[in-house]
């Protein structure tokens, strides 16, 4: 087939307007875009035979309207109006298909490099180099949005099958929201709740993890990606190196909530020019979209992309959302019919409103119904947190029962072996017997405390509520590798609690033996 002159001209023009075909470029060396490969990385292709690495950020909720309550920001300091802590919520975009539990979103493992930015924005493929493995800077917020758009369109045209899907719909890339970014910057569920609320995620020495100003760190220069240690989610340079642009606009803090005025765009995390004291998860700064007549840019600001999915993906999803909405904040949240429907006050108000002809009165009743449902929902979320705290305590106490119980068995064994036939006046045996008694008393007190905790939680929360939160807490332990060893003790504790719920019998000896026999203990 021969090309006409006009079609050749068209092809040349098209080539100038779009990134060079990957077939004309050499594949990038891995160290230019992922200097620290890991088995849990999720890699997407890019133009010019390039790639970008992502990490999963997991949230253990699965229902269409389920989300996880978290607290962001930081109390104290001089920037309360900007950084003061506030309650918010987070949920993932993609369903966990392997385990059918939980959801997740993807966050870029590194800040967008100059190489990746050029591959997206220029008409020719750049040659990888050390300088181009630095974070891309000096682009405007609008440039960042354009880069994400170009990447989305390229993926949909060239690698649609590589994109994760939700309900058959492919995900898309954008700048992160502040909640998505800070949740990941703090370590997500890879850290415990105390570590999550700290100013930094766990680190032995800041200079081993983050670039900041001074001769001991960046020395006033932007640095190559991935040269220091990652945070607990495997994300590099979340704090320091270059500040990162957010998708959502800036809001001031108003004690326990965000203020109503939306301003410029937000940059997070501090940069290579920030003082060490300004390198913290709560650091945030407002930037005007424009500097005089042109969009604002900065040599200390870059970006990191997230990959998420649409919320409403199909008519079936709409039905699921509507069904969840109907039971949201209801006193009988399962949606099942009960013998006494009158116990569900919110539902009763809704029924009453539907039978009223007066429009003003009907609206007042509907408003009351919505307020009651919102109040109920808040109580249910706080109740769920309390249940998970009780499960955490029960699981931990189970580990202590194992340790103390096995130690008592050890002391008993040694006493029987060494002192069975000895005279009562033997000093060593007297000491052994004394220690044996002390350990027995200690174990008895611990067993009593464990039993009280188990019974109180079972009585207060009931089997159905406990069962649901056991599943959620188990996922949280799976996500946090440092706490995975607690999972068998959660199973043992839940087994003990179920037996009590079934027969009402206080079986401290049986519960102790169950914890002692749990696999995974020391």
What are the DSSP calls for 397-418, one per residue?
HHHHHHHHHHHHHHHHHHHHHH
Rounded to an integer, the average pLDDT of 386-414 is 93
CB 269 within 8 A of CB 243: yes
Q: What is the tens place of the pLDDT at every residue in 215-267?
A: 999 999 999 999 999 999 999 999 999 999 999 999 998 887 889 999 999 99
C-alpha to C-alpha distance for 248 and 286, rounded to whole angstroms: 11
Please provide residue 46's backbone torsions phi and psi, each rounded to the nearest 5 degrees: -135, 170
Three-state secondary structure call for residue 363: helix
- Look at the chain and count its residues: 522
C-alpha to C-alpha distance for 168 and 189, rounded to whole angstroms: 27
C-alpha to C-alpha distance for 88 and 516, rounded to whole angstroms: 39
For residue 69, list its beta bridge partners.
89
Rounded to an integer, the average pLDDT of 29-54 is 96
CB 165 within 8 A of CB 171: yes
* pLDDT at residue 489 tops 80: yes
CB count, 10 Å around CB of 461? 20
Please provide residue 86's backbone torsions phi and psi, each rounded to the nearest 5 degrees: -155, 150
Rounded to an integer, the average pLDDT of 193-210 is 90
CB 123 within 8 A of CB 99: no
Query: Domain ranges in the chain?
Result: 15-308, 378-516
- Among the CATH numbers 2.80.10, 1.20.1630, 1.20.1050, 1.10.3470, which is that of 378-516? 1.20.1050
Q: Which overall architecture, per CATH, does domain 15-308 show? A: Alpha-Beta Complex (3.90)
How far is the CA of 316 from the CAs of 320, 429, 500, in angstroms? 6, 73, 40
Q: Which helix (H) or strand (E) holds 107?
A: strand 103-108
* pLDDT at residue 25 tops 90: no
Q: Please tell me the least confidently modeled range out of 116-130, 237-251, 423-437.
A: 423-437
C-alpha to C-alpha distance for 60 and 392, rounded to whole angstroms: 15
Q: Which helix (H) or strand (E) holds 512?
A: helix 508-516
Please provide residue 252's backbone torsions phi and psi, each rounded to the nearest 5 degrees: -70, 165
CA 286 centroid distance within chain: 24
CB 107 within 8 A of CB 234: no
Three-state secondary structure call for residue 115: helix
Rounded to an integer, the average pLDDT of 1-8 is 43
Instruction: Look at residue 361 in the predicted model and tell me its pLDDT.
Output: 76
Provide the total of helices (H) and of strands (E) in the chain, helices listed first: 13, 18
Of 13 and 157, the structure prediction assigns the larger pLDDT to 157
Instruction: Look at residue 376 in the predicted model and tell me its pLDDT.
Output: 77
Of 327 and 3, the structure prediction assigns the larger pLDDT to 327
C-alpha to C-alpha distance for 480 and 346, rounded to whole angstroms: 38
Burial 144-153 (b: 16+ CB within 10 A, else e): beebbebbbe
* pLDDT at residue 187 tops 80: yes
Three-state secondary structure call for residue 465: helix
Instruction: Provide the token pair at 19.
Output: 């990134």
Left (φ > 0), alpha (ψ -120 to 50) or beta: where does 261 sit? beta
* pLDDT at residue 348 tops 50: yes
CA atoms within 13 A on the CB side of 460: 12
pLDDT-based confidence at 24, cuts 50/70/90? low
Rounded to an integer, the average pLDDT of 34-60 is 96
Q: Please tell me the least confidently modeled range out of 9-13, 36-40, 239-243, 259-263.
A: 9-13
Cβ contacts of residue 237 below 8 Å, gap of 6+?
110, 111, 135, 210, 211, 223, 225, 226, 228
* pLDDT at residue 521 tops 60: no
Cβ contacts of residue 339 below 8 Å, gap of 6+?
none
Instruction: Look at residue 14 in the predicted model and tell me its pLDDT.
Output: 42
CA atoms within 13 A on the CB side of 123: 6
Determine the longest span between alpha carbons in the chain, in angstroms. 113
Cα R_g (the chain), whole angstroms: 29
* Average pLDDT for the chain: 87
Three-state secondary structure call for residue 375: helix
C-alpha to C-alpha distance for 306 and 174, rounded to whole angstroms: 6
Please provide residue 363's backbone torsions phi and psi, each rounded to the nearest 5 degrees: -65, -40
CA 174 centroid distance within chain: 18
Q: Could you tell me the pTM of the whole model? A: 0.80
User: Residues 190, 453, 384, 478: what is their CA dihedral angle, to the nearest 10 degrees?
Assistant: 30
Q: Please tell me the least confidently modeled range out of 173-177, 331-335, 380-384.
A: 331-335
CB 380 within 8 A of CB 333: yes
For residue 253, list its beta bridge partners.
258
Instruction: Look at residue 12 in the predicted model and tell me its pLDDT.
Output: 40
């Amino acid at each position: 087939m021969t090309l006409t002159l006009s079609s050749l001209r068209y092809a040349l023009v098209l080539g100038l307007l779009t990134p060079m075909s990957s077939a004309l470029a050499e594949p990038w060396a891995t160290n230019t875009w992922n200097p620290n490969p890991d088995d849990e990385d999720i890699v997407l292709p890019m133009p010019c035979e390039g790639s970008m690495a992502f990490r999963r950020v997991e949230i253990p909720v699965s229902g269409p309207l389920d989300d996880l309550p978290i607290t962001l920001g930081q109390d104290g300091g001089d920037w309360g109006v900007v950084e003061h802590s506030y309650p918010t919520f987070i949920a993932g975009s993609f369903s966990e298909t392997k385990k059918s539990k939980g959801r997740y979103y993807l966050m870029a493992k590194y800040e967008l490099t100059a190489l990746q930015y050029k591959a997206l924005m220029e008409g020719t493929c750049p040659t990888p180099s050390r300088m181009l493995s630095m974070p891309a800077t000096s682009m405007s917020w609008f440039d960042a949005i354009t880069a994400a758009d170009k990447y989305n369109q390229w993926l949909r045209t060239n690698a649609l099958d590589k994109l994760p899907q939700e309900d058959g719909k492919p995900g898309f890339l954008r700048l992160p929201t502040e909640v998505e970014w800070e949740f990941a910057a703090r370590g997500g569920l890879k850290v415990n709740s105390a570590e999550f609320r700290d100013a930094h995620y766990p680190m032995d020495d800041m200079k081993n993890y983050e670039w900041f100003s001074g001769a001991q760190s960046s020395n006033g220069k932007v640095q190559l990606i991935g040269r220091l240690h990652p945070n607990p989610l495997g994300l590099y340079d979340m704090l320091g190196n270059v500040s990162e642009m957010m998708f959502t606009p800036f809001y001031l803090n108003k004690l326990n909530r965000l203020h109503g005025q939306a301003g410029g765009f937000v940059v997070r995390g501090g940069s290579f020019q920030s003082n060490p004291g300004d390198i913290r998860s709560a650091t945030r700064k407002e930037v005007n979209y424009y500097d005089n007549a042109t969009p604002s840019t900065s040599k200390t600001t870059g970006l990191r992309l997230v990959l998420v999915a649409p919320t409403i993906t199909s008519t079936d999803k709409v039905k699921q959302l509507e069904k969840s909405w109907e039971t949201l904040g209801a006193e009988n949240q399962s949606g099942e019919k009960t013998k006494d429907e009158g116990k569900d006050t919110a539902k009763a108000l809704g029924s009453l409103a539907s039978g009223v002809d007066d429009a003003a009165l009907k609206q007042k009743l509907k408003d009351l119904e919505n307020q009651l449902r919102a109040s109920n929902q808040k109580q249910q979320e706080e109740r769920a947190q309390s249940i998970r705290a009780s499960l955490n305590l029960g699981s931990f106490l189970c580990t202590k029962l194992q340790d103390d119980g096995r130690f008592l068995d050890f002391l008993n064994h040694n006493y029987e072996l060494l002192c069975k036939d000895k005279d009562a006046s033997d000093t060593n045996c007297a000491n052994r017997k004394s220690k044996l008694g002390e350990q027995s008393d200690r174990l008895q007190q611990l067993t009593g405390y464990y039993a009280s905790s188990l019974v109180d939680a079972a009585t207060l929360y009931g089997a159905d509520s406990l069962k649901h939160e056991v599943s959620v807490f188990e996922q949280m332990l799976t996500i946090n590798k440092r706490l995975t060893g607690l999972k068998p003790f959660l199973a043992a504790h839940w087994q003990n609690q179920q037996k009590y719920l079934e027969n009402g019998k206080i079986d401290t000896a049986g519960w102790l033996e169950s914890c002692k026999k749990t696999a995974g203990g020391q």
